[in-house]
Amino acid sequence: MTHKQKYLKFIDDLLSGEEGFKLIFSKPRKEIEARSETIEIILDNKVRSAQSVKRTLTQHFTSVIELKDLKLYLDTCINDHYFYCEIFSGLGNAVLLQNNKGTTTFIQKKQTTTIHAKSHNKKKDYAISEDAPFLRELGLSSTQGKVYEQSQKKYRQINKFIEIVQGLLPPSKDLWHIADMGCGKAYLTFALYHYIAEVLDKNVIITGYDIRPELIAQCNDIAQKLGYKNLSFKQANIEETILPPTDLLIALHACDIATDMAIYQGIVSGAHTIVVAPCCHKQIRKQIQLRNGILKHGILLERTAEMVTDAIRSLILEDHGYKSKIFEFINTEHTQKNTMIAAQKIKRNENAAIEIKDIKENYGIHFHYLEKLVEKSY
């Protein structure tokens, strides 16, 4: 039996069974808007139903699939829409990997997953469950695995971040290298490690970098306590760090130009995906010379500086072969600093340099920190 036939038989067995199961499709075959799609076959009071959640870079779209259409729907997903499929079921978990040369690999794992019924009144199903041990070690949940009331916002923020990263994961390979620049107390670093290594069961090495030695020591202790052997933390100034070849680089709320340093490190380490949530934007603000009726107001000058800084960051990424998007990643209930730049090495924007020049001329800017950094690598 070929690998594809084994996969189809596995799906047939699941469809003819009576249990719930889940499939996560990713790695789109062509430019479709969805980055990934999760299909859950849920068993509630012995009745099955099927639901799809498609994830674009910024949104989720949920729909119901008629059971009679399910087989055809799943065939279309794997033949026409996606290269990659992960299956979680009571019969065992499995992965189907395909490439554009037609090579197919199907791997079955012994580990099984029970898919529980969902009710409409149920609390949102988060990628990171409340009883994940790292939440307890970071002081966000109790020993009974319940997230404290005062930590609920942080918990939702962590899950929102993981939801976004789910749709941005780099192409599948045996081992991913991930760097988190300016990791701070590393809530998101631990969450990412837990999600990739323990939930997705993938091989990953994650390193968090921060300038503050006391945070690094604390995070290394917690990683050791949790037995997270491929998660470590290093004390370093982002600008001076030499990264190994990296697949995914993140930097969340790294202060002012530390975000530029992180993007620069992502570019030089060849990261396939770079995800940053900028913090304060002081560097450009001082230079903006367009003092008209709008920018005489401090708050509007500040917002303009943010927009201009991030637009130039995004264009510099595009000039270096990345397709980039800027979007709001979490609502302002959590933080005012809610802009995210996500870039994937897919295609260069040939006009990016001209667009940067235009913006700089319009706003009287002579110096963007990231531009200076990347000049070094030309």
Ligand X SMILES: C[S@@+](CC[C@H](N)C(=O)[O-])C[C@H]1O[C@@H](n2cnc3c(N)ncnc32)[C@H](O)[C@@H]1O
Which residues lie near ligand X (CB under 6 A)? 182-184, 187-188, 209-212, 237-239, 252-255, 258, 261, 279
- Quote the least distance from Cβ 131 to ligand X, whole Å: 22
What tokens does 357 get?
A: 């020049």
Q: Which residue is nearest to ligand X (CB)?
A: 184
- Quote the least distance from Cβ 200 to ligand X, whole Å: 22
Q: Which of residues 23 and 250 has its CB atom nearest to ligand X in the complex?
A: 250
Q: Which of residues 111 and 237 has its CB atom nearest to ligand X in the complex?
A: 237
What tokens does 226 get?
A: 């949790």
- Quote the least distance from Cβ 110 to ligand X, whole Å: 36
Q: Which of residues 265 and 349 has its CB atom nearest to ligand X in the complex?
A: 265
- Quote the least distance from Cβ 287 to ligand X, whole Å: 21
- Quote the least distance from Cβ 249 to ligand X, whole Å: 12
Tell me the pairing of strands 248-252 and 231-235: unpaired
Q: Which of residues 210 and 247 has its CB atom nearest to ligand X in the complex?
A: 210
Beta partners for 87?
A: 23, 94
Q: Tell me which residue of 233, 140, 227 sits closest to 180, measured CA to CA.
A: 233
Determine the Cα–Cα distance for residues 13 and 298; give it in Å rounded to an integer: 64
Determine the Cα–Cα distance for residues 231 and 192; give it in Å rounded to an integer: 10
Q: Residue for token digits 């994937």?
A: 344
Specify whether the CB–CB gap between 201 and 111 falls below 8 A: yes
- Which amino acid is it at 33? E
- Quote the least distance from Cβ 236 to ligand X, whole Å: 6
Q: Which of residues 204 and 356 has its CB atom nearest to ligand X in the complex?
A: 204
Q: Which of residues 254 and 312 has its CB atom nearest to ligand X in the complex?
A: 254
Q: Which of residues 255 and 294 has its CB atom nearest to ligand X in the complex?
A: 255
Determine the Cα–Cα distance for residues 231 and 225; give it in Å rounded to an integer: 11
Query: Across the beta sheet with 21-28, what order do the strands follow?
Result: 60-65, 47-55, 36-44, 21-28, 82-89, 93-98, 104-109
Q: Tell me which residue of 56, 29, 24, 28 sits closest to 41, measured CA to CA.
A: 24
Contacts of residue 214, defined as CB under 8 A and 6 or more positions apart, other chains included, come to none
Contacts of residue 221, defined as CB under 8 A and 6 or more positions apart, other chains included, come to none
Q: Tell me which residue of 202, 297, 293, 192 sits closest to 252, measured CA to CA.
A: 192
Q: Which of residues 70 and 238 has its CB atom nearest to ligand X in the complex?
A: 238
